[in-house]
């Protein structure tokens, strides 16, 4: 039996052919997910096959996503695939960050090593492959962030036209610059995010446009490989915790699905607990887990955080993410702008570095160990979602003491590293060098 799309809602569970162009369930509006009715190959066989492909020169095998293709068998053949060798991201030990976080040891899975600098590439290679399989000529998203950068790169590499819709008055220049350079047609529309999405949905069918927004179930399939690759790199020993930032919660959904499926396939023997970390000014999912009624998420009307990748007031994937977090015995934490900024500088001092949203993980770990929820000797992997260079302006302002949170409150550069102005004079330079 081929792969299918199934409605995620328990009360519906409607099924649809994998080749139907759908974004939500046509019956109830629920989120969709890919399912695979056929039994997968035995775990031992898969482990050997996947490890063996690391020595291959075939493009598909060199991809850190398609190497694990038996884990996401939604295509009937691999002709539509274009790979930029996404995934293949390292596990990095970070003793200084561990100490800061109150842990004996801490490992970062650094998704910022991806071709366009974020984990969006893991999902986008799949989303674009599905677009080609469906015979689409254009792909689109509403974003100024890492999604648009990634979509632009993969669409252009695949010979499709990328179209990026920018909500009015909301531009993140670093990431937008990537979208322009990778050749996206960029449309700034005088409307907010939801209005544009509605417009684009109406136009999509007539114009042969395939939407690659966060709920796209094929992007979720690709992001599952972040967990598969992590387990492969750990010789299939599950950690106690996997920590990640939460915005639209697509990644939380993907990690949960991956862990469940790997357990069912016998690839791992237990589920790590998921710890999702949000920024205080954009923490509707954290609120949801702390409330008695979990049937409805209260959106944050004006989400605020300098960590723009997680500045999301109404996360679309929350029903999936809720199920996944609960299934792993996980937790959701929130952290302040100051905590994110300091944690980010600590990740930098490890020689690793990341963008602000990613640093929420270390800030969250510090809070969770202090609260006794995460034990100091726990085996923890934190996923750094984006590259340091995504947001250089934030960095310069932090180190020079000019960074202000969205309310205008100054952020203290507790780990600041200000450039020193020095005169053209050897004696004075010597004095300065001896002082530091």
Interface residues with Zn ion (CB under 5 A)? 7, 9, 12, 14, 25, 27-28, 30
Question: How far from 88 is each of 155, 229, 325, 361, 417, CA to CA, in Å?
Answer: 20, 8, 26, 21, 31
- CB of 46 or CB of 381, closer to ligand PLP: 381
Minimum CB separation from Zn ion for residue 94, in Å?
A: 43
Minimum CB separation from Zn ion for residue 321, in Å?
A: 18
Q: What is the DSSP secondary-structure string of 296-342?
A: S----SS---S-GGG--SS-TTHHHHHHHHHHTT-EEEEE-HHHHHH
Chosen from ligand PLP, Zn ion, none, partner binding at 243 (C-beta under 5 to 8 Å by type): none
- CB of 8 or CB of 50, closer to Zn ion: 8
Please state the φ and ψ torsions of residue 92, each to the nearest 5 degrees.
-120, 125
- Asked if residue 214 binds ligand PLP (CB under 6 A), the reply is yes
Minimum CB separation from Zn ion for residue 162, in Å?
A: 30
Please state the φ and ψ torsions of residue 118, each to the nearest 5 degrees.
-150, 170
Q: Which of 3, 310, 331, 395 binds ligand PLP (CB under 6 A)?
A: 310
Q: Which of 83, 116, 305, 385 binds ligand PLP (CB under 6 A)?
A: 385
Chosen from Zn ion, ligand PLP, none, partner binding at 31 (C-beta under 5 to 8 Å by type): none
Query: What is the DSSP pairing of strand 138-142 with strand 161-166?
Result: parallel
End-to-end CA separation in angstroms for the chain: 67
Minimum CB separation from ligand PLP for residue 364, in Å?
A: 13
- Asked if residue 386 binds ligand PLP (CB under 6 A), the reply is yes
Chosen from ligand PLP, Zn ion, none, partner binding at 107 (C-beta under 5 to 8 Å by type): none
Q: Which of 83, 146, 178, 305 binds ligand PLP (CB under 6 A)?
A: 146
Count, residues in the chain:
436
- Asked if residue 357 binds ligand PLP (CB under 6 A), the reply is yes
Minimum CB separation from ligand PLP for residue 143, in Å?
A: 9
Task: Pick out residues in 90-129 that bind ligand PLP (CB under 6 A).
Answer: 118, 120
Question: How far from 269 is each of 43, 275, 410, CA to CA, in Å?
Answer: 11, 19, 47
Write out the two tokens for 213: 């927004």
The 262-301 site mask, x for binding ligand PLP (CB under 6 A), equals ----------------------------------------
Minimum CB separation from ligand PLP for residue 384, in Å?
A: 8
Task: Pick out residues in 235-264 that bind ligand PLP (CB under 6 A).
Answer: 245-252
Write out the two tokens for 381: 């992997």
**C-beta of residue 272 within 8 angstroms of C-beta of residue 234:** no
Residue in the shown chain whose Cβ atom is closest to ligand PLP = 386
Buried b / exposed e over 60-90, threshold 16 CB at 10 Å, is ebbbbbbbbbebbebbeeeebbbbbebbebe
Question: How far from 15 is each of 20, 21, 193, 372, CA to CA, in Å?
Answer: 11, 13, 29, 43
Minimum CB separation from ligand PLP for residue 418, in Å?
A: 26
* Percent composition of the chain: helix, strand, coil (DSSP 3-state, to 5): 45, 15, 45
Binding site for ligand PLP (CB under 6 A): 118, 120, 145-146, 214, 245-252, 309-310, 355, 357-358, 385-386
């Amino acid at each position: 039996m081929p792969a299918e799309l199934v409605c995620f809602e328990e009360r519906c569970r409607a099924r649809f052919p994998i080749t139907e162009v759908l974004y939500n369930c046509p019956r109830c509006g629920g989120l969709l997910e890919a399912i695979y009715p056929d039994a997968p190959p035995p775990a031992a066989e898969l482990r050997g096959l996947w490890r063996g492909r690391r020595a291959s020169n075939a493009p598909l095998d060199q991809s850190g996503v398609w190497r694990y293709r038996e884990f996401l068998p939604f295509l009937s053949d691999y002709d539509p695939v274009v790979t930029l060798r996404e995934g293949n991201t390292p596990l990095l030990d970070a003793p200084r960050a561990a100490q800061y976080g109150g842990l004996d040891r801490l490992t970062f899975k650094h998704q910022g090593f991806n071709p366009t600098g974020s984990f969006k590439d893991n999902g986008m290679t799949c989303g674009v492959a599905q677009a080609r399989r469906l015979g689409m000529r254009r792909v689109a998203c509403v974003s100024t962030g890492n999604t648009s950068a990634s979509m632009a790169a993969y669409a252009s590499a695949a010979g499709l036209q990328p179209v990026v819709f920018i909500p009015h008055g909301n531009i993140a220049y670093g990431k937008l610059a990537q979208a322009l350079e990778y050749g996206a047609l960029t449309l700034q529309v005088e409307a907010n995010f939801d209005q544009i999405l509605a417009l684009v949905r109406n136009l999509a069918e007539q114009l042969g446009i395939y939407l690659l927004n966060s709920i796209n179930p094929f992007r979720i399939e690709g992001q599952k490989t972040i967990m598969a690759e992590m387990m492969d790199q750990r010789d299939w020993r599950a950690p106690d915790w996997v920590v990640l930032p939460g915005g639209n919660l697509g990644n939380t959904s993907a990690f949960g699905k991956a862990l469940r499926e790997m357990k069912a396939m016998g690839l791992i023997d237990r589920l790590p607990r998921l710890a999702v970390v949000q920024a205080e000014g954009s923490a509707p999912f954290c609120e949801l887990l702390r409330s008695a009624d979990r049937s409805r998420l209260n959106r944050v009307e004006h989400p605020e955080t300098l960590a723009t990748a997680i500045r999301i007031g109404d996360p679309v994937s929350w029903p999936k993410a809720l199920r996944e977090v609960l299934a792993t015995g996980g937790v959701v934490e929130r952290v302040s702008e100051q905590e994110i900024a300091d944690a980010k500088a600590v990740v930098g001092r490890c020689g690793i570095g990341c963008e602000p949203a990613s640093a929420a993980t270390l800030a969250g770990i510090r809070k969770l160990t202090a609260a006794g929820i995460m034990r100091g000797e726990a085996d923890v992997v934190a996923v750094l979602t984006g590259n340091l260079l995504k947001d250089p302006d934030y960095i310069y302002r932090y180190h020079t003491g000019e960074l202000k949170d969205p309310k205008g409150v100054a952020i203290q550069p507790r780990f600041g590293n200000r450039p020193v102005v020095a005169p053209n004079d050897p004696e004075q330079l010597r004095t300065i060098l001896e002082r530091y």
